[in-house]
Structure 1
């Protein structure tokens, strides 16, 4: 990945920030995006303000943000080799309490954000006849939990899983690989945002009896970015969350 250009959305905190850190360490050219400019600038500075990295704040649910990201990447680095659609929001809410505004929020940020960013990078990848797109889903699409009602965000994430497979089919002949990472419970700021005070208390959901770390998602993203023969797949990085239960 040295000198390859990677666009990462939702890169100011948590998983996205760790992914940026991982690719920067491997000497990739990184374009960081987040809707929160203050957090994004802070993350960039904490990563050492590297010369191989630039950032652009903007709402990824707006098409213009993705177009600006592509223009910036091409102006600065001349190519777009990898897109990591990490930006997303997630919070539980009982099905009967979900309002239209909730659906709009999740579909705008999670699905439209992924959709528009991908639309923006595909033309350059087609021109290059090479590229990798990595979407962020969730294991909960395939493993629902009674005590965690989250139909609104899960529906948007399920759509991303489906989008991954269709894009892999449409652009496989152009050597564009499209995959999804489906994380389990990961130690990140998201947990406190959705009211989970002790993320480690959820360790039992995974057969490995621990929660995941952000660097483990970054490692998976790097693996998919460098793989030339994996496409259309959903890779569960979840400690066995989807395959069985500990009793």
Structure 2
């Protein structure tokens, strides 16, 4: 593999936004390591799949080791895996808490440590978190304390990483989403979800892909929380 052929790791890659990101990076001639609990082997020689729970540090270690062994480097990490549980605050269970923090926080922490350690060796790299605009605009129609607790932490961590590694050629950014049309939102929910956005409709997966790819090539942008939310974070 030539030095110009970069390698991206994408979590939560078996369907929806994650699967769309895998294809988008392949279309730009990246090699991709795709991971999710239920991900199946790929017929594309440029895509290596690793099945596992990203909340388990052993999964993170297997993913980064696989990227190094198969493709020799890590250039981009997209922390796309996430769990969203909308419940009244007092209705959250210990299981909800453990599951959400496991994927959203532990699932970010270890794989990002390992990926950045590889990026440091080459003096370049990019880490992107998929977050939510609910961090910035709590909505009484969508109770979401666990989302705000975890994704808000990722937004803060993104800025901290950006500053810590600014002089080492490694950038960190996040994309804060509104509600995106994906398999997790059945069609019958769209009439409720569309009006949550000032523009009057949900986003498309292509909107997320476009935002991540913008950040990928925007070398002067780091520490940015890019809102792709139909105006939600601007006001109501």
Q: Is the TM value for this pair above 0.5?
A: yes
1:209 & 1:102 partners in 2: Cα distance?
31
1:186 aligns with 2:177: no
1:179 & 1:21 partners in 2: Cα distance?
20
Distance 1:189 1:222, change over 3 A: same
The alpha carbon displacement at 1:200 in A equals 4.6
Contact 1:2 1:27 in 2 (8 A): no
Partner of 1:9: 11
TM-score (norm 1): 0.90
Partner of 1:91: 85
1:119 & 1:186 partners in 2: Cα distance?
28
Please tell me the root mean square deviation across aligned C-alpha atoms, in Å: 1.6
2:35 & 2:9 partners in 1: Cα distance?
8
Partner of 1:19: 21
How many aligned positions are there? 234
Report SS of the residue matched to 1:148.
Answer: coil
Partner of 1:242: 233
What are the Cα deviations for residues 63-98 of structure 1, in whole angstroms up to 9, with x where unaligned?
111111111111111110000000011021111112
Report SS of the residue matched to 2:103.
Answer: helix
The alpha carbon displacement at 1:197 in A equals 2.8
1:128 & 1:27 partners in 2: Cα distance?
19
Residues 71-220 of structure 1 aligned to structure 2 (within 5 Å): 71-192=65-186, 197-220=188-211
Structure 1 runs of 4+ aligned residues shifted over 6 Å read none
TM-score (norm 2): 0.94
What are the Cα deviations for residues 120-161 of structure 1, in whole angstroms up to 9, with x where unaligned?
111111111100000011000001110111212321111111
Contact 2:135 2:147 in 1 (8 A): no
Report SS of the residue matched to 1:70.
Answer: helix
Question: Can you give the 5+ residue segments of structure 1 that lack an aligned partner in the other structure?
Answer: none
Contact 2:85 2:96 in 1 (8 A): no
Contact 2:7 2:75 in 1 (8 A): yes
Contact 2:131 2:174 in 1 (8 A): yes
